[in-house]
Amino acid sequence: MARSMVLGNGNTMVCLDKFGQVRDFYFPYVGQENHIGSNQIHKVGVFVDNKMNWIDNGEWKIDLRFERNSMVSKTEALNEGAKIYIESTDIVYNEKNIFLRKIVLTNKDSRMRNIKIFLNQQFKIGDTNHADTAYFSSTIESIIHYKGRRVFLVGGVCDNKPFQDYGIGFCGAEGKEGVWKDAEDGFLSKNSIEHGVVDSVISWNKDVPANDSMVLYYWVVVGETYRDVCSLLEYIFEKSPEHLLESTKDFWQAWTNQVEVSFSGLSEKAKNLFYDSLLVMRAHSDDRGGILASADSGNVQYGGDTYGYIWPRDACFTAWSFDMAGFYDVSKRFYAFANDILTEEGYVLHKYQPDHSLGSSWHPWVKDGKRQLAIQEDETAILLVGLWEHYIRAKDLEFIESIYNSFIKKAADFLIRYKDIHTGLPLPSYDLWEEKYGVSVFTASLVYGGLVSASNFAKTLGKEADALKFYSEAEILRKAIMTSLWNEGGKYFFKLIGDKLEKDEKLDASSFYGSFRFGILSPDDPRMKEAFKLLTVKLGRGINIGGFARYEGDNYSHVGGESTGNPWFVTTLWFTQYKIAIASSLFDLGEVAKDIEWVAKFAKSGMLSEQLNPLTGEPLSASPLTWSHAEYVRTVIEYDKKMKSFGASKTKV
């Protein structure tokens, strides 16, 4: 199930589903470890008139969104049959590891009723579903879930009183579905401890007059020790839950308000998605530098794995957008992360975990009995391009100097070594879509861009010999790309050349984007304009809702039908960025604005997925995908810059 909301502070991250239920709880890294299992949910239920109404029972009308320009979740849920309305305001406190909800439960009936609310906790502590313990602590009037150095404290207050009922039991073990089942008659067992595979439920009840409300604050805090979580509990009472809500809202509004964008010609929905995208990106950014591809643990892919890793390429595109928006601290932490993971040989591997360890991979080190590097070379090259883009905005020369030898020079020297001496092209590696082994236009273009960036760094630091070497190698590569990878007959770039020099002639959005974005050809080059016309026809074929596929015949998550593939937000926005690059009038930018509005139209609760169903527009694959949001932010900023160059409004909205 897609995630409809993400909340985080760089150390703790919580993801909610479309019902507002907690589905992922990450600590101590963003994306590592997830303490809720794939089949687990923190359920929410209301018992009234002798009936339990779980919020995911299909009887509720639910709206879930960020509060304006702030990483504060607002859930509104109405059950007309039960005559109950819930408004929940949720945060991960920006300063400490506290997940906090303010729940306002309104009796929509014309009579007073006794209303009970039940809040369920299902944990898989440390990503392993055994040997957990949960118990009720009368000393602090809280439920404690723990295993090893991971301790969760669950509690709350209503009318300044702690929960009135509780239960602890087995969940998915010993033939038990969970102690939440015990809540369905409106009462709990008060069983005070259990170990193994366990869950817990807490509840409050109150006589609520007609059209009146009960208000409660609920929290889950996490730390490494019992002492840690008790300190956080003391902090909540010292500051008050309402203060934590307000200060978190104020912090994120101040954070987003640093961005200078005018949004001329764009709708309110498109503006809100811009800020929501920044918040999604930040929620996926760990304070130790990693930028997660997606925290959606419900998106299980080949081998039972998820997108819960740092792909250096995807993360770098996100860091680049952070830099364009002016958030240099976040991107700088990422480049420090990149410096740490670079191998002694000068390349990065497939993907990583937030603690800088190596992530899972399906790239082989031996193919057809021959050794090979299990890499995507573009993931190394883009780090140099992104770092240069960071430097020209942040001007943090001391940081650049500190990593020149350990990162910039080492990576650039690898790009030079990893070359076919006969063709002048890079040696084969896996392409950015992680499917083909060969020499793709996208990768070759990025290697060119990476060498140019390394040359710029060397020149800036007065290292003239390095500057000349890197630039000369870049120019040799650019000529080789035009000689070997440009299809003169078809007037477009090939997708790639295989490891046996066979040419893949499929049209691929990345070949077009890579060649213009990283400087192989200028956007205004007639060859690019002709290729653009061809690609928009071919890659939009059969897609009823609009948008563009990655390449011809893309079967990844394909839903069938006549489309050449599913539309991706990333590739669609790449084409929009090209339109911005060649725009020569406000009329041209009016067409760009339509593309931006198209993206906003298909955002769900402010979340952008990886792909869309080409027939219905429903999200497919991981949601949210950080890269989709990063490309949206970049596109809006580039659009705004071009609008201002034409004299459009420079006033920030």
Strand partners, 15: 6, 24
Query: According to the model, what pLDDT value does residue 130 have?
Result: 83
Among the residues of 213-327, which ranges form H helices? 226-239, 241-256, 268-283, 312-325
Query: According to the model, what pLDDT value does residue 281 have?
Result: 98
**Distance (Å, rounded) from C-alpha 561 to C-alpha 374?**
34
Query: Does the bond joining 33 to the residue before it have cis omega, within 30 degrees of 0?
Result: yes
Task: Report residue 38's pLDDT band, with 50, 70 and 90 as the boundaries.
Answer: confident
Joined tokens for residue 563: 């489309």
Task: Report residue 302's pLDDT band, with 50, 70 and 90 as the boundaries.
Answer: low
% of the chain with per-residue pLDDT over 70: 99
Amino acid (one-letter) located at 468: L
Q: Is the torsion defined by CA of 221, 288, 9, 352 positive or negative?
A: negative
For helices 312-325 and 328-341, the axis angle rounded to 10 degrees is: 150
pLDDT in tens, 591-648: 999 999 999 999 999 999 999 999 999 999 999 999 999 999 999 999 999 999 998 7
Task: Report residue 128's pLDDT band, with 50, 70 and 90 as the boundaries.
Answer: confident
CA gyration radius, the chain: 26
First to last CA, the chain: 34
- pLDDT averaged over every residue in the chain: 96
pLDDT in tens, 59-89: 999 999 999 999 999 999 999 999 999 999 9
**Distance (Å, rounded) from C-alpha 481 to C-alpha 21?**
50
Q: What is the rounded average pLDDT of the residues 536-556?
A: 96
Name the residue among 345, 503, 477 with its Cα closest to residue 419.
477
Strand partners, 65: 74
**Distance (Å, rounded) from C-alpha 459 to C-alpha 452?**
11
Strands (E), 433-538: 437-440, 486-487, 492-493, 496-498, 503-504
Q: 3-state DSSP helix/strand/coil percent for the chain, to nearest 5? A: 35, 25, 40
pLDDT in tens, 173-191: 777 889 999 999 999 999 9
The set of long-range contacts for 524-530, using a CB threshold of 8 Å and a minimum separation of 24, is 524/582, 527/486, 527/491, 528/578, 529/582, 530/491, 530/492
CATH code of 5-240, in short, is 2.70.98.10
Domain boundaries, the chain: 5-240, 256-285+542-653, 311-538
Name the residue among 428, 441, 626, 602 with its Cα closest to residue 535.
441
Q: Under a CB-based contact definition with an 8 Å cutoff, are residues 495 and 514 in contact?
A: no
Name the residue among 408, 314, 403 with its Cα closest to residue 352.
314
Task: Report residue 212's pLDDT band, with 50, 70 and 90 as the boundaries.
Answer: very high
Which residues contact residue 384 at a Cβ distance below 8 angstroms, ignoring those fewer than 6 apart? Answer: 408, 411, 412, 415, 449, 450, 451, 453, 454, 457
Beta strand 366-367 pairing with 213-223: unpaired
Class at the top of the CATH hierarchy for domain 311-538 = mainly alpha
Asked if the model's pLDDT at residue 500 lies above 80, the reply is no
When mean pLDDT is compared over 131-140, 298-307, 483-492, the highest value belongs to 131-140
The pair phi, psi for residue 632, each rounded to 5°, is -65, -45
Query: According to the model, what pLDDT value does residue 68 have?
Result: 93
Strand partners, 312: none
Asked if the model's pLDDT at residue 418 lies above 90, the reply is yes
Q: Under a CB-based contact definition with an 8 Å cutoff, are residues 401 and 415 in contact?
A: no
% of the chain with per-residue pLDDT over 90: 93
Q: What is the rounded average pLDDT of the residues 463-487?
A: 97
Q: Report which DSSP code applies to 427.
A: P
Which residues contact residue 425 at a Cβ distance below 8 angstroms, ignoring those fewer than 6 apart? Answer: 419, 439, 444, 477, 480, 481, 484, 485, 497
**Distance (Å, rounded) from C-alpha 166 to C-alpha 188?**
6
Asked if the model's pLDDT at residue 501 lies above 70, the reply is yes
Q: What is the rounded average pLDDT of the residues 9-20?
A: 97
DSSP-based three-state secondary structure for 521: coil
DSSP-based three-state secondary structure for 607: strand
Query: According to the model, what pLDDT value does residue 296 have?
Result: 93
Query: According to the model, what pLDDT value does residue 652 have?
Result: 41
Asked if the model's pLDDT at residue 298 lies above 90, the reply is no
Name the residue among 213, 26, 38, 55 with its Cα closest to residue 120.
55
371, containing H or E segment: strand 370-371
Asked if the model's pLDDT at residue 356 lies above 90, the reply is yes
- Out of 213-227, 299-313, 485-499, 621-635, least confident range: 299-313
**Distance (Å, rounded) from C-alpha 419 to C-alpha 536?**
32
pLDDT in tens, 561-598: 889 999 999 999 999 999 999 999 999 999 999 999 99
Task: Report residue 107's pLDDT band, with 50, 70 and 90 as the boundaries.
Answer: very high
User: What is each CA distance from 285 to 118, 124, 265, 319, in whole angstroms?
Assistant: 32, 23, 30, 9
Q: Under a CB-based contact definition with an 8 Å cutoff, are residues 645 and 581 in contact?
A: no
Query: Does the bond joining 526 to the residue before it have cis omega, within 30 degrees of 0?
Result: no
Burial 17-34 (b: 16+ CB within 10 A, else e): bbbbbbbbbbbbbbbbbb
The pair phi, psi for residue 551, each rounded to 5°, is -160, 170
pLDDT in tens, 223-280: 999 999 999 999 999 999 999 999 999 999 999 999 999 999 999 999 999 999 999 9
- Give the global pTM: 0.96
Cβ atoms within 10 Å of 67's Cβ, excluding its own: 15
